[in-house]
Amino acid sequence: MSTYSRPSEQVRFGPFELNLSTRELRTNGTKQTLAPQPFQVLQLLIENRGRLVTREALVSHLWPADTFVDYEQGLKKAVNRLREALNDSAEQPSFIETLPRQGYRFIATLEFDPPDRSRSVEAALVPPGHSKADGSLTDSRRFPRLPALALWISAIVICVAGALLWRTRVWRHTPPVSADPRIIQLTANSSENPVTSSAISPDGKYLAFSDSTMKMHVKLLATGETQTIAEPESLKGDPVSWSIAGWFPDGTRFIANARSRSTMAWLPSRFRFASNFSSNGSAGSLAGAGTSIWVVSLLGTTVRKIRDDAEAFSVSPDGMSIAFGTDVGQLGDREIWLMDTSGQHARVLFHAPEDTAIGGLNWSRDGQRVIYFELGASFGQLVSRDLRAGHPISLLQYPGWMSLTDFVWLPEGRLIYTREGNLWSLGIDESGKAMDKPRQLTHWPGTWIGETSVTSDGKRIAFQRSVQQTTVHMADVTSNGASISPATHLTLNEYVNAAETWTPDSSSLVYRSWSNGHLRLFRRALDSDTEEPLVMGAENVGGSAVSPDGSWLFYADCGPQVPAFCEGVIPIMAIPIHGGTPHVVLKGDSYGRVRCAVAPSNLCVIAERSDESQPLVFTAFDALKGRGAELARFPTEPAAQYSWALVPDGTRIAILKNWDSVIHVISLNGETPQQIAVRGWNHLAGIYWSADGKGWFLQSKTHAGVVLLHVDSAGGAQSLWELKGDSAAYAVPSPDGRHLAIVGITRNNNVWLMEDF
């Protein structure tokens, strides 16, 4: 008989031991759990040890047919993550060998437990009496003496049986790793005309959506035919933007919210408190009388208003009630009401305190329970509640509105919600409580997801998926900042690039770039096409500044945190600008990036705010001395967000409440504070001083997109540059005032359909 060892759920190679049931990879006393796709790659390579596994086979193994994904990048990322886990090298592989333009091959010896760790599968699969790869012979004395033909037949049978048994054991002990859900794109709007709201009909036949043209559209998904809904006569001459709230169960009508353009309706959210909080943290100035609820019928395409001063959330499963929000407080709607489909018989359902907003109500299949958002200045949660009686049950808690943007409640009881750009699943029992731990459904880096809706059978989910593109442009400045030359691209790649600061001699720009899952700092001279990495070894770096004398580069070390959410007390590092060993300057909860003045000033400043309602505290620091004296304080409003800038000579700080139109200037040498109202423009953000200290560069959000402005010390504004669609921009002037680094941020926002989740 052969001594072939039956494989099991444990497989060993090199210093590693892999559990095929739990995806746990152990080495030298440490343990890590492989992500699903890197594990599936490793599993397939192990099953075909020593043989080429083509790229096509791996793609087919990882993604089902008709899945919309960048296969090349997805496969490359999965293999790279696997190599990182194995500490392997593509150039000198110990485990995974790359066959250029073909695929990959697993080259290490495999051993299985139990029963015999000392015997490898390689030895078991070599016919007796033949050489192994290293030239040594197997021991044929273990086999009975048979004629040559019979011996060969026995060897073949043993090999085939062993291989089949091994595959059976591997599959039996490997948990079913669900493939990525099937994704289909439903709209293809350009970045200049992004989709702003959407909902799929209960029968899955139609998609109702709106875009930046401020129109509503209905698309027949079977044919792609799209019809634009005519604006009602009562609104002509008083244009509004539309937001789709949800469909009636019969699939022939849906409800929509009409927002006055003065309410910043360009924000893609169907939940008033969320859109308002994201814009400026003060819902009272954005909602209220400017929002009304309408019923849109596909039968004759009629549009009928049923209520003013409210925001619709959803329709009940029986089609008899509409849930809406009203009573705008500091953060948004403080009350959820129900009314009938004609807008009559309204009654209050839930009420929230002054410092809390609630909304986004969703129904259970029987209409007896609901789930809704509850949001405070620094917290958020999803709450389950019985409509008949009982107290609210907290399902999910999260730090703020940006972490969790939307959700749907499936008929089967699962909750599908969006968290930090991905879709997650959570089981809910009949009492409205969570049954298990959340499970991540998608793994998409660098995306925003929202506006989820589901078909009545719970098998298809429509959602908006937004991908950001950030590009650095360069322009020459003329007329003291009042005009610029045509801007040209400085960064010619599709990574997320953002200008940070200049070297004091104005010859080079320092910018950060998000690529391959990490955020890095680079320097690029204006007369060069080469980017120079500045900080080596750091996993993710936050905002940076160059010391006034040009000798030090300061940056925030975010560690493993996703840079977009790099928060809390983190180290501010200093490294010699021409290379060297970094050291910790101070640890702080930096509000925005640190800033430095221009020589002869030697001032560098960090801003910190301990809580949403606390003042901004400005403190000096030095590369060698660390934290210095407190310079100034500025009172802030709860939940509001601010941007700030240090004047080049280091004597003043400008502060702007995002989406306001007033610039606050505080003096660091005892002079009276100033307030400069920007004339003719509002919804301002992202402030930077001009090089001469006599004005600012900032952005103004408009209904068409964003406009980059130069504002003088008297509040006069001049338009310099414009982007269309769901966009943003800011500009960093060079110290000599001759150049302007312009960062343009656009989003390609469209509707997608997910199945098999």
Percent of the chain with pLDDT over 90: 46
Q: CB neighbours of 51 closer than 8 A, spacing ≥ 6?
A: 105
- Between 603 and 568, the more confident residue is 603
Which of 646, 652, 648, 647 is closest to 668 using CA atoms? 652
Cβ(257)–Cβ(293) below 8 Å? yes
Residue 497 confidence (pLDDT): 86
**Banded model confidence at residue 614, pLDDT cuts 50, 70, 90:** confident
Residue 468 confidence (pLDDT): 79
Helix H or strand E encompassing 76: helix 71-86
Residue 565 confidence (pLDDT): 53
How deeply is 721 buried, as exposed, middle or buried, from its count of CB atoms within 10 A (0-12, 13-18, 19+)?
A: buried
pLDDT at 230 over 80: yes
How deeply is 15 buried, as exposed, middle or buried, from its count of CB atoms within 10 A (0-12, 13-18, 19+)?
A: exposed
Q: Per residue in 9-36, pLDDT tens?
A: 789 888 989 988 888 898 877 888 888 8
Mean pLDDT computed over 608-632: 92
Least confident of 450-454, 481-485, 492-496, 562-566: 562-566
Helix H or strand E encompassing 243: strand 240-247
Residue 137 confidence (pLDDT): 32
Residue 47 confidence (pLDDT): 86
Q: Per residue in 450-466, pLDDT tens?
A: 899 999 999 999 999 98
Domain with CATH 2.130.10.10 in the chain: 193-459
**Banded model confidence at residue 179, pLDDT cuts 50, 70, 90:** low
- Between 426 and 290, the more confident residue is 426
* Domain made up of 193-459: CATH architecture: 7 Propeller (2.130)
Helix H or strand E encompassing 133: none
Mean confidence (pLDDT) of the chain:
82
Residue 640 confidence (pLDDT): 83
Cβ(294)–Cβ(257) below 8 Å? yes
pLDDT at 149 over 50: no
> What's the rounded Cα separation, in Å, for the pair 32 and 410?
33
Q: Per residue in 81-91, pLDDT tens?
A: 898 889 888 87
Residue 180 confidence (pLDDT): 62
Domain with CATH 1.10.10.10 in the chain: 10-173
- Between 301 and 396, the more confident residue is 396
Domain 10-173 in CATH 3.30.70.940? The answer is: no
Residue 140 confidence (pLDDT): 32
Residue 431 confidence (pLDDT): 87
Instruction: Give long-range contacts, CB 8 A cutoff, 24+ apart: 567-573.
Output: 570/542, 572/606, 572/621, 573/535, 573/538
Residue 491 confidence (pLDDT): 81
3-class DSSP state of 33: strand
> What's the rounded Cα separation, in Å, for the pair 12 and 24?
12
**Banded model confidence at residue 182, pLDDT cuts 50, 70, 90:** confident
Helix H or strand E encompassing 325: strand 321-328
Residue 181 confidence (pLDDT): 75
Cβ(10)–Cβ(113) below 8 Å? yes
Residue 29 confidence (pLDDT): 75
Q: Report CA Rg, the chain.
A: 30
Mean pLDDT computed over 563-568: 60
- Through-space distance between the first and last CA atoms of the chain, rounded to whole angstroms: 47
Take residue 730 and report the two structure tokens written for it: 């800011």
3-class DSSP state of 660: strand
pLDDT at 175 over 50: no
Q: CB neighbours of 732 closer than 8 A, spacing ≥ 6?
A: 499, 500, 501, 502, 509, 688, 697, 740, 741, 743
Least confident of 28-37, 237-246, 338-347: 28-37
* Domain made up of 468-750: CATH architecture: 6 Propeller (2.120)
> What's the rounded Cα separation, in Å, for the pair 201 and 457?
11
User: Which residue type is seen at 195?
Assistant: V
pLDDT at 689 over 80: yes
DSSP-assigned beta bridge partners for residue 461: 454, 754
DSSP 668-702: SSSPPPEEEEPTT--SEEEEEE-TTSSEEEEEEE-
> What's the rounded Cα separation, in Å, for the pair 620 and 608?
11
- Between 170 and 465, the more confident residue is 465
pLDDT at 551 over 60: yes
Least confident of 37-41, 148-152, 196-200, 446-450: 148-152
Mean pLDDT computed over 338-352: 94
- Between 233 and 284, the more confident residue is 233
3-class DSSP state of 231: coil
Mean pLDDT computed over 682-696: 95
> What's the rounded Cα separation, in Å, for the pair 98 and 671?
66
**Banded model confidence at residue 78, pLDDT cuts 50, 70, 90:** confident
Instruction: Give long-range contacts, CB 8 A cutoff, 24+ apart: 727-730.
Output: 727/191, 728/685, 728/686, 728/699, 728/701, 729/686, 729/699, 730/686, 730/688, 730/697, 730/698, 730/699
Q: Per residue in 711-737, pLDDT tens?
A: 999 999 999 999 988 788 999 999 999
Residue 143 confidence (pLDDT): 29
**Banded model confidence at residue 661, pLDDT cuts 50, 70, 90:** very high
